[in-house]
Amino acid sequence: MGDSNYSKAYIQTLIDELKTSKIYTDLQCAAQVEIAKPTLRLSELKKGVLNGLVNSGWDRKLRNAIYRFLQTHPKLQFPSPPPEHLKEPLVFLRKAQQAWEKRILKSLNSMCTDLNIPLARKRPEKEQKEWAQKWTELGIDGPVHFEKTEPKDASVKDLSQFRPVYAPKDFLEVIIGLQNPNYHGSDTPGFYHLWGIVQVPLKVKDIDELRLQYSDMSINQCQSGIDDAQDIPSELFEQERVKLGKKVINTNHGPLAQEFSKKGCPTSMRATLWCQILAVELDEIDILYYEQLKTNVLQHDLLVDSLLYKDVKLTATNDDQYFVFEDFLYQVLLPFSRDTYVLNHFDYNSASPPKSYIRGRLGMDEFAVNYPPNGVIPFHGFAMYVAPMCFLYKETITLYYVFREMYVRYFFRLHSISSHPQGIVGLSLLFESLLQTHESDLFFHLKSVGCQPLKVAFKWLVRAFSGYLSSDQVLLLWDRVLAYNSLEILAVLAVAIFSFRKTNLMKVQSYNAAEAVLADLTTLQVIPLIQLSLFSK
């Protein structure tokens, strides 16, 4: 491995990680099988074994494992930075994130004391059995006592008392308040003041860099989602695309699937392609692990469960595209909150898992636990990260692992404060700067009637447009997020939508009117919009 892009330490970490994973033992077993073959000659032992492994597809599997590692472990500089810097290099943002987390945890704890419900409790035997039976139908009763004959007491949860811990607009207020202490922000001229509401001067890409990055989406390239529509003869694009897609899927190679998806995934291949890009391949261990998570849900009841349940009821159940999948959402979200694998992503997430203490041992570190076990406190709309994927996977277990991977790679960035260019702060700034540069009259007009564009677009970004666009469009958009390994396309789309509705937006005279123009996005076709916005100036 003479690749000079990766330092020795990085490669060593990669090797160490591979050695501890299942693929190592599998490879050893496969190599032993190869050695036992009678056709193998002693003089060519190493070559023979290697060839045998390659021929039986182990080469590909190893490549996929390495690819997965590369995707989740960014290259480190030398000397390697301290761990807090990996999470977030800018101190003031780190502090802001910590302050925000304190607020959330405080809110959660006070809800706890107000409603007199423990953060976690062990379920009685009987309740566990009931939950096991109703596991696939949680949409009906949810985390309330199923025995309707028992008198209602304080422990029976009345969902109306639960409020989501925070909503995107609360988060936006925090972001608006971010100030780099090295600058004087003020309205007097000569002082640094950004035009939009995000006042953190992070470096974001400009349109030329975006054009380069998304060059496979340019107008002269056929795309899934436009050029394979029903009224276009399939010989022009669709047939070739499907043929190519089948070949790509058969090679089972992550980078190849990713490259192919840059022009979008044909609907019937999307599920497999996403699995390959995310390197989600289920084996018996994964199935057991999910069962273990499910058992955790059955045994212990967390306050977070009620929050998740309420969130689903507020969002997906009321959505005419996703209400069908309500029960699946519980089967994914409840185990998710118990999954400690998710804690790993906090190494590169500016956020940190909230800590709670065993009853009576407040402040004593030996009795601190992560709460919830996966460290992620859901907010209003969290369930919508899962909902569009229900169109792809009808087994909950595959759905679970794909969602988990999507979360620890992309979605976490949408609700934590960080300087990462794809973090929500970066995306907001990208949105504002693109809009200011390319639709300055629109930006100025909206600002002058009291509508900062980000205030409308923010909720789209936080949810990655789930629930705002129609389901097939969300999937096409997320194809590109995966294929280009970047969330920046969300900001590009937001700008494109403002451009598209510019005529009406220029006529509005109030914030509410602007919001009304942008309220219904379900008729939009995202790919042509993005193409127009990026490539037709």
Partner 1 sequence: MDKSVLLNNFETRGWVPVGPDDDWNFYWANVQSIRNVFSIDCGFRLTDDQVISHFPNHVELTRKDLMVKNIKRYRKDLDKEGNPLAEKDENGRYIHLDFIPQTFMLPADYNLFVEEFRKNPNTTWIMKPCGKARGVGIFLVNKLSQLKKWSRDSKTSNFTPPTSKDTYVISKYIDNPLLIGGKKFDLRLYVLVTSFRPLKCYLFRLGFARFCTVKYNASINELDNMFVHLTNVSIQKQGDDYNNVHGGKWTVQNLRLFLEGTRGKEVTDRLFDEMQWQIVHSLKAVAGGISNDRHCFECYGYDIIIDDNLKPWLIEVNASPSLTSTTSSDRIMKYKLINDVINIVIPPGQVPDVRWNKIPAKEHLGNFDVLYDEELAQQDVMGGDPRKLGPGTFRGKRDGSRPSPATWK
Q: Which parts of this chain interact with partner 1 (CB under 8 A)?
A: 136-137, 139-140, 230-231, 233-234, 242, 266-268, 270-271, 317-321, 323-328, 390-394, 471-472, 475
CB of residue 67 to partner 1, shortest distance in Å: 24
Beta strands in 63-182 (DSSP E): 120-122
CA–CA distance, 199 with 425 (Å, rounded to integer)? 10
Of 231 and 365, the one with the shorter C-beta distance to partner 1 is: 231
- In 3D space, the residue among 379, 264, 373 whose CA is nearest the CA of residue 315 turns out to be 379
- In 3D space, the residue among 131, 407, 399 whose CA is nearest the CA of residue 290 turns out to be 399
End-to-end CA distance of the chain: 44
CB of residue 357 to partner 1, shortest distance in Å: 39
Residue that is written with structure tokens 């379900």 in the block: 522
Report phi then psi at 223, rounded to 5.
-130, 145
DSSP letter string, 150-207: SPP-TTS--GGG---S--HHHHHHHHHT---TTS---SSTTS---SSS---------H
CB neighbour list of residue 476: distance below 8 Å, 6 or more residues apart: 224, 225, 264, 526, 527
- In 3D space, the residue among 247, 244, 248, 271 whose CA is nearest the CA of residue 258 turns out to be 248
Of 112 and 314, the one with the shorter C-beta distance to partner 1 is: 314
CA–CA distance, 26 with 363 (Å, rounded to integer)? 44
CB of residue 154 to partner 1, shortest distance in Å: 24
SS3 301: strand
AA identity, residue 183: Y
- In 3D space, the residue among 418, 414, 423, 405 whose CA is nearest the CA of residue 339 turns out to be 405
CB of residue 396 to partner 1, shortest distance in Å: 10
Of 276 and 436, the one with the shorter C-beta distance to partner 1 is: 276
- In 3D space, the residue among 274, 271, 337, 348 whose CA is nearest the CA of residue 300 turns out to be 337
CB of residue 260 to partner 1, shortest distance in Å: 17
CB of residue 274 to partner 1, shortest distance in Å: 10
Say if CB 139 and CB 327 are below 8 A apart. yes
Of 337 and 398, the one with the shorter C-beta distance to partner 1 is: 398
Of 136 and 510, the one with the shorter C-beta distance to partner 1 is: 136
Of 376 and 386, the one with the shorter C-beta distance to partner 1 is: 386
Of 117 and 399, the one with the shorter C-beta distance to partner 1 is: 399
Of 45 and 232, the one with the shorter C-beta distance to partner 1 is: 232
CB neighbour list of residue 43: distance below 8 Å, 6 or more residues apart: none
DSSP state for residue 484 in the 8-state scheme:
T
- In 3D space, the residue among 490, 460, 344 whose CA is nearest the CA of residue 404 turns out to be 344
Helix H or strand E encompassing 467: none
CB of residue 416 to partner 1, shortest distance in Å: 30
Of 318 and 437, the one with the shorter C-beta distance to partner 1 is: 318
CA–CA distance, 490 with 465 (Å, rounded to integer)? 8
CB of residue 325 to partner 1, shortest distance in Å: 5
Of 56 and 522, the one with the shorter C-beta distance to partner 1 is: 522
CB of residue 320 to partner 1, shortest distance in Å: 4
Of 314 and 513, the one with the shorter C-beta distance to partner 1 is: 314
Of 60 and 313, the one with the shorter C-beta distance to partner 1 is: 313
CB of residue 527 to partner 1, shortest distance in Å: 16
CB of residue 156 to partner 1, shortest distance in Å: 17
Say if CB 112 and CB 45 are below 8 A apart. no
Whole-number CA gyration radius for the chain = 25
What residues are paired with 357 via a beta bridge?
A: 368
Say if CB 508 and CB 463 are below 8 A apart. no
CB of residue 41 to partner 1, shortest distance in Å: 45
Instruction: Locate 313 and state its tokens.
Output: 């009821």
